[in-house]
């Protein structure tokens, strides 16, 4: 309780409501501290984190190796800017080249900044290398995309809510239907310089593309001298059971955008990665960021990459993801028609709720009240994306709670009981 007798959680919630912009509608849980896959609120209640800050906490909260690396660097220097050389950025760039397979990386802070970097790179490449008249370059983007919140990026979103009242918007983007090559070809022109695309559309509801789409897209881009830019801000660094989601498709993009998990749960760190034939368009004074690649961020990101590699988190994710997928499909079978679909890859799974029954937000808040943290998207999908360090025991506990919450909702709606299971259903991994 605070001095007025108000519960601590309500006091903090009211403080944000009084003084903050209303651009978020948080689940009513006030987090006090966290460790690995567990979170505790200000009243001491324990929660299983099945969201991991949209993949930003893929390593688990406050991984001891990463915290130690941050402490070591904080005792030396944190920020000097790219006006000077340092001792941490070079090793990070070398490690990024090693794990991504790309020759060069350009560090930024947020995922949106890395996407903006990719857009600038694609346009300059289109003009200087491909020969498109400056100002005429076009980038193809998928409907249902989510690449960030800057004014340029929301300008090519297909979500009305993200765009309303924020115009005028930047020209130079043309839309196609995700997973549809005929739509891609119809959207292209002689001035198309790049395709910017997510390997899985997370914000749209964890939408997995049809088999073969990315292979055909890769071949088409190559034939037409068009850059294929893969936005793996959420999907990358092990989330789908491989280091990068494009590996599931057996392709290699021309450029890769990373973020979220690159900051290892401590700091915002992102990067735009490409080979020299693409990255050559950047020269001194053409692009930059005061905090991008700062000493502290580089030290943290480097240790985060080492942890993913040395502790086998990526490899274990595939097995854990298949298990979580199967268990959620079993819940789906028990509470039909409340759950319409379960889809995803690795530890990135969307549970699609039948909108005539309830909203995803209703179930998310019920889950939180019972000790499981998740997040809805588009009113109908609950995302389950725990840290890659999650144990089978914690997944079982979380799914059991979800099953109970869903069954209670099922009964409230008078849908009765449904026997059976989803045994034999294979995960999309």
8 A C-beta contact, residue 230 and residue 248:
no
Q: How far is CA 43 from CA 14, 27, 50, in A?
A: 16, 16, 20
Q: Which CATH number fits domain 8-61+313-412: 3.40.50.300, 3.40.190.10, 3.40.640.10, 3.90.1150.10?
A: 3.90.1150.10
Task: Supply the pLDDT for residue 424.
Answer: 35
d(Cα 57, Cα 207) in Å, to the nearest integer? Answer: 21
Active site residue 138: no
Two tokens, residue 422: 């989803």
pLDDT digits (tens, 9 = 90+) for 324-365: 999 999 999 999 999 999 999 999 999 999 999 999 999 999
| Neighbouring C-alpha atoms within 13 Å toward the C-beta of 184 | 22
The pairing of strands 372-373 and 46-49 is parallel
- Catalytic residue, chosen from 242, 260, 375, 409, is 260
Among residues 41, 231, 254, 352, the one annotated as catalytic is 231
What lies within 8 Å, CB to CB, of 12 at 6+ separation is: 30, 42
C-alpha angle 229/221/250, rounded to 5°? 70
What's the pLDDT score for residue 416?
Answer: 66
d(CA 370, CA 48): 10
DSSP 373-395: E-EEETTTEEEE---TT--HHHH
Query: Among residues 95, 102, 138, 146, which one is catalytic?
Result: 146
CB 214 within 8 A of CB 251: yes
Q: Please classify residue 9 by burial: count the beta carbons closer than 10 Å to its beta carbon, then call 0-12 exposed, 13-18 middle and 19+ buried.
A: middle
C-alpha dihedral sign at 214, 98, 274, 114: positive
- Size (the chain), residues: 429
Establish whether 260 is a catalytic residue.
Answer: yes
- Where are the CATH 3.90.1150.10 domain residues in the chain? 8-61+313-412
Distance separating alpha carbons of residues 321 and 344, to the nearest angstrom? 9
122, 139 contact by CB (below 8 A): yes
* Low-confidence stretches of the chain (pLDDT beneath 50): 418-429
C-alpha distances (whole Å) from 155 to each of 24, 40, 109, 161, 346 are 20, 38, 21, 11, 31
All CATH 3.40.640.10 domain ranges in the chain, comma separated: 64-310
CA–CA separation, 280 and 129 (whole Å): 10
Q: What is the pLDDT of residue 61?
A: 98
| Fold classified for 64-310 | 3.40.640
At 60-85, the pLDDT tens digits run 999 999 999 999 999 999 999 899 99
H/E element holding 273? Answer: strand 270-274
Q: Look up 36 and say whether it is catalytic.
A: no
Q: Which pLDDT does position 420 carry in this prediction?
A: 39
Task: Tell which residue, 382, 296, 301, has the closest CA to residue 114.
Answer: 301
- The two tokens of residue 221 are 């881009």
């Amino acid at each position: 309780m605070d001095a007025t007798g108000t519960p601590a959680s309500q006091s903090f919630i009211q403080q944000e409501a009084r003084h903050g912009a209303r651009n978020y509608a948080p689940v009513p849980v006030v987090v006090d501290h966290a460790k690995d896959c567990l979170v505790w609120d200000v009243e001491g209640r324990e929660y299983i984190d099945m969201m991991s800050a949209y993949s930003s906490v893929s390593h688990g909260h406050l991984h001891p190796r990463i915290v130690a690396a941050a402490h070591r660097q904080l005792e030396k220097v944190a920020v000097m800017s790219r006006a000077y050389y340092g001792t941490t950025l070079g090793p990070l760039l070398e490690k990024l080249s090693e794990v991504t397979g790309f020759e060069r990386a350009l560090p930024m802070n947020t995922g949106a900044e890395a996407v903006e970097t990719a857009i600038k790179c694609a346009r300059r490449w289109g003009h200087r290398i491909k020969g498109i008249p400056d100002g005429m370059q076009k980038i193809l983007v998928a409907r249902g995309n989510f690449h960030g919140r800057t004014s340029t990026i929301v300008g090519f979103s297909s979500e009305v809510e993200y765009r309303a009242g924020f115009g005028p918007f930047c020209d130079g983007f043309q839309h196609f239907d995700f997973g549809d090559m005929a739509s891609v070809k119809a959207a292209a022109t002689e001035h198309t310089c790049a395709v910017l695309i997510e390997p899985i559309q997370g914000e749209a509801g964890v939408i997995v593309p049809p088999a073969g789409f990315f292979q055909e897209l890769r071949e088409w881009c190559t034939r037409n001298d068009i850059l294929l830019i893969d936005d793996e801000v959420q999907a990358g660094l092990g989330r789908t059971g491989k280091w990068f989601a494009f590996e599931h498709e057996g392709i290699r993009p021309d450029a890769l955008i990373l973020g979220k998990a690159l900051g290892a749960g401590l700091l915002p760190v992102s990067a735009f990665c490409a080979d020299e034939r693409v990255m050559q368009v950047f020269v001194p004074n053409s692009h930059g960021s005061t905090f991008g690649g700062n000493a502290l961020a580089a030290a943290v990101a480097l240790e985060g990459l080492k942890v993913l590699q040395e502790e086998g988190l990526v490899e274990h994710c595939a097995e854990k993801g298949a298990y979580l997928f199967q268990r959620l499909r079993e819940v789906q079978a028990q509470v039909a028609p409340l759950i319409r679909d379960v889809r995803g890859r690795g530890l990135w799974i969307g549970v699609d709720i039948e909108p005539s029954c309830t909203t995803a937000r209703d179930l998310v808040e019920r889950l939180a009240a019972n000790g499981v943290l998740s997040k809805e998207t588009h009113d109908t999908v609950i995302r389950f994306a725990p840290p890659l360090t999650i144990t089978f025991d914690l997944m079982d506990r979380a799914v059991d709670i979800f099953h109970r919450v869903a069954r209670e909702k099922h009964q409230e709606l008078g849908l009765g009981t449904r026997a059976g299971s989803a045994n034999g259903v294979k995960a999309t991994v």
